[in-house]
């Protein structure tokens, strides 16, 4: 965006603000469901500022404006948004109240779209801004949409049924479980606002956003097992519509515009509204209708997180096919002169190996392909124009994944180009030790991800270093690659790890301007069989789903214990056993060399 375009967009937006008597307007990156991936029609922050990161917020005042981003995007925001129009602040360390204190007067009004903010977000901002005498007020409609003349149309991607052979459970049976949960909690209804929860409950998948197979819509599910799905009819073929409506005879399908009227019909009902994805507008509508909005976790989120046996089986098969593609890439990469490659061309080559795979449906997120100092940015993304050229005696990090009809993958490998330094090998081995500690963890039922997270960091902590992202996130079944409510992180969640959950295991280390390291596998939580002798509590552990070699050139064997070295050798033996029969001769030969015992390194 050039300066003229930026000036025009801000001026037209400020004109609408004056009409509404607003001193400032909050423009979040979030869409109506707080999604990680948003449709082009919801990229309001990008339209206003040019910033394309996946998290952030703008505050537009009468004369001055600020962009709030987290540590992942401090470099990107300066590259994309014009300094002459925007000041940059840290989303966590420099929240909006500081900017407001410097730019607004007591009694002035700050507008927000109640569809784009959760109740918790608004409560937090009201408390902070109210202490300064500022009023946070909802707008009628979205002011950015009023001035966005060429705003893209709402997505209308086709919906497909997700086969029960992959789901492991019919949609009717799932909604029966939901109804039982509502009854147990003395709730009359549930508003399903999260599109991945909608996809799970109805065994459907969609095409409304890239890399995440969801269809935007909402649903109201009742405690008696009936419900209504609100979704654009253009998305639903007669066959899909019929399958949804007649699955158990209790589902009605209506236009999205009828959702507000349906909320009016919930008078005197106690309605669960998801605290993580539902906009304040839904709560306001329910309260206006005389219903009780019970703001809390959507019970579908936990049901979805605990995979069925069919979903776990699909994940194993998807990871096997994915591993074959990644091994082909690693063999190709080792045979290339790094100076002939860029971050972009390497990532594109990896995608070509995946694209030919059975049941492949595209990437599960934008590949992080990062060389040398760029890899020190944990969420770095290269484009074709800006991608760095690779070189020798350094580190290349590639974090990628794919959507398959039967599963979702996510894997990170850190690779040496040429001869790595002793420091690189030491840090890589410390990260690997933490990765191994998580993989081998045994823990009683009730343990949360925050407790597991410390296992991954211990070897880095001992050297006085750390990494600033979580150790692991949940992963869906042909759904979101970043799925809750479980996670492995310092902050953690209140949700204990349960058998059937899938989590990533991805400790890292990042030296600014020099190199970055991350090693990631996906794990399934399992109940140990047999249980430890004398166990007094049900004991859980992890099953590894990802089988791709670690880069032995980066491992300092002297830093590994006997048990850790045995783990790597046994893991590599399993990789070889699973994959060598599926590979062409050249790739098989590379795999055999890459999985030799560490003693031979």
Identify the pLDDT of residue 139: 95
What is the spatial distance between Cα 160 and Cα 157, in angstroms, rounded to a whole number? Answer: 10
* Residue 535 CB contacts under 8 Å (≥ 6 apart), including other chains: none
Mean pLDDT of the chain: 94
CB atoms within 10 A of CB 349: 16
**H runs (alpha helix) in 218-279:** 238-246, 259-264
Identify the pLDDT of residue 577: 97
Provide the residue ranges of all domains of the chain, joining segments of one domain with +.
Answer: 3-147, 160-304, 306-596
| Mean per-residue pLDDT pooled into runs of 10, the chain (601 residues) | 92 96 95 90 95 90 91 78 89 87 93 94 91 93 95 95 96 95 98 97 96 96 95 95 79 94 96 95 96 97 98 98 98 97 97 93 96 90 90 96 98 97 98 98 96 97 94 97 95 90 97 96 96 91 98 97 97 97 96 90 48
Matching fold, domains 3-147 and 160-304:
yes
Element (H, E) at 199: helix 195-202
What is the spatial distance between Cα 143 and Cα 160, in angstroms, rounded to a whole number? Answer: 34
What is the spatial distance between Cα 248 and Cα 226, in angstroms, rounded to a whole number? Answer: 9
Instruction: Reply yes or no on domain 306-596 having CATH 3.90.230.10.
Output: yes
Identify the pLDDT of residue 436: 98
CB 544 within 8 A of CB 571: yes
Q: pLDDT per residue over 358-390, tens digit each? A: 999 999 999 999 999 999 988 788 889 889 999
Q: Please provide the DSSP assignment of 212-229 as one string.
A: B-----EEEEETTS-EEE
CB 493 within 8 A of CB 448: yes
Identify the pLDDT of residue 349: 97
**Residue (of 39, 30, 361, 406) closest to 232 by Cα position:** 39
Identify the pLDDT of residue 247: 57
Q: Please provide the DSSP assignment of 472-518 as one string.
A: EEE--SSS-SSEEEEEESSS--SPBP-TT-EEEE--EEEETTTEEEE
What is the spatial distance between Cα 431 and Cα 214, in angstroms, rounded to a whole number? Answer: 34
pTM for the model stands at: 0.93
Q: Which residue has the tokens 């049941």?
A: 359
Identify the pLDDT of residue 350: 97
Identify the pLDDT of residue 53: 84
Q: How many CA atoms lie within 13 A of 154 on its CB side?
A: 12
Fold of the CATH domain 160-304: Creatine Amidinohydrolase; Chain A, domain 1 (3.40.350)
* DSSP bridge pairs for 524: 502, 543
The radius of gyration of the chain from alpha carbons, rounded to an integer in Å, stands at 25
For the domain covering 3-147, report its CATH number.
Answer: 3.40.350.10
Distances 252 to 223, 246, 278, 402, 473 between C-alpha atoms, Å? 15, 9, 21, 33, 34
């Amino acid at each position: 965006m050039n300066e003229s375009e930026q000036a025009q967009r801000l001026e037209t937006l400020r004109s609408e603000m004056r009409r509404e008597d607003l001193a400032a307007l909050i423009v979040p990156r979030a869409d109506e469901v707080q999604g990680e991936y948003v449709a082009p029609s919801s990229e309001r922050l990008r339209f206003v500022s040019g910033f394309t990161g996946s998290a952030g917020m703008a505050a537009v005042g009468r004369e001055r404006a600020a962009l709030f981003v987290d540590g992942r995007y401090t470099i990107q925001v300066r590259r994309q948004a014009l300094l002459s129009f925007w000041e940059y602040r840290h989303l966590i360390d420099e929240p909006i109240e500081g900017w407001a204190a410097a730019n607004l007067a007591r009694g002035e009004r700050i507008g927000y779209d109640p569809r784009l903010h959760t109740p918790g977000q608004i409560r937090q901002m009201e408390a902070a801004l109210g202490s300064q005498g500022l009023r946070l007020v909802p707008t009628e409609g979205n002011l950015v949409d009023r001035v966005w003349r060429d705003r893209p149309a709402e997505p209308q991607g086709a919906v497909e049924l997700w086969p029960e052979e992959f789901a492991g459970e019919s949609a009717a049976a799932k909604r029966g479980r939901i109804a039982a949960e509502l009854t147990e909690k003395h709730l009359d209804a549930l508003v399903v606002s999260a599109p991945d929860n909608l996809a799970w409950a109805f065994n459907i998948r969609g095409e409304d956003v890239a890399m995440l197979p969801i269809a935007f819509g909402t649903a109201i599910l009742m405690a008696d097992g009936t419900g209504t799905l609100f979704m654009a009819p253009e998305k639903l073929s007669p066959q899909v519509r019929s399958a949804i409506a007649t699955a158990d005879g209790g589902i009605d399908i209506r236009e999205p515009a009828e959702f507000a009227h349906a909320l009016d019909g919930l008078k005197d009902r106690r309605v669960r509204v998801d605290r993580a994805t539902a906009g304040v507008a839904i709560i306001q509508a329910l309260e206006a209708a005389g219903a009780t909005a019970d703001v809390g976790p959507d019970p579908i989120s936990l049901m979805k997180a605990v995979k069925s046996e069919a979903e776990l089986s699909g994940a194993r098969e998807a990871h096997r096919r994915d591993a074959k593609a990644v091994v082909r890439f690693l063999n190709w990469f080792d045979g290339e002169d790094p100076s002939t490659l860029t971050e972009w061309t390497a990532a594109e080559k990896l995608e070509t190996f995946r694209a030919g795979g059975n049941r492949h449906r595209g990437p599960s997120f934008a590949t992080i392909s990062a060389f040398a100092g760029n890899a020190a940015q944990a969420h770095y993304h290269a484009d074709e124009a800006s991608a760095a050229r690779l070189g020798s005696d350094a580190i290349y990090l590639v974090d990628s994944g794919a959507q398959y009809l039967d599963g979702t993958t996510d894997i990170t490998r850190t690779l040496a180009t040429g001869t790595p330094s002793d420091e690189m090998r030491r840090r890589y081995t410390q990260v690997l030790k933490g990765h191994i500690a998580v993989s081998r963890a045994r823990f009683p039922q009730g343990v949360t991800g925050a407790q597991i997270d410390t296992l991954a960091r211990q070897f880095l902590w001992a050297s006085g270093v750390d990494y600033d992202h979580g150790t692991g996130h949940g992963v869906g079944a042909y759904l979101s690659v970043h799925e809750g409510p479980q996670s492995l992180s310092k902050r953690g969640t209140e949700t204990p790890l349960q058998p059937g959950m899938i989590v990533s295991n991805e400790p890292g280390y990042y030296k600014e301007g020099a190199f970055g390291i991350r090693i990631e596998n996906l794990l399934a939580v399992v109940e140990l069989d047999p249980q430890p002798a004398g166990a007094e509590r049900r004991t859980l552990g992890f099953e590894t789903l990802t089988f791709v070699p670690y880069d032995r050139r980066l491992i300092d064997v002297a830093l590994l214990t006997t048990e850790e070295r045995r783990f790597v050798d046994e893991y590599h033996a399993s990789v070889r056993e699973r994959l060598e029969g599926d590979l062409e001769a050249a790739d098989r030969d590379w795999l055999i060399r890459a999985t030799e015992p560490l003693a031979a390194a």
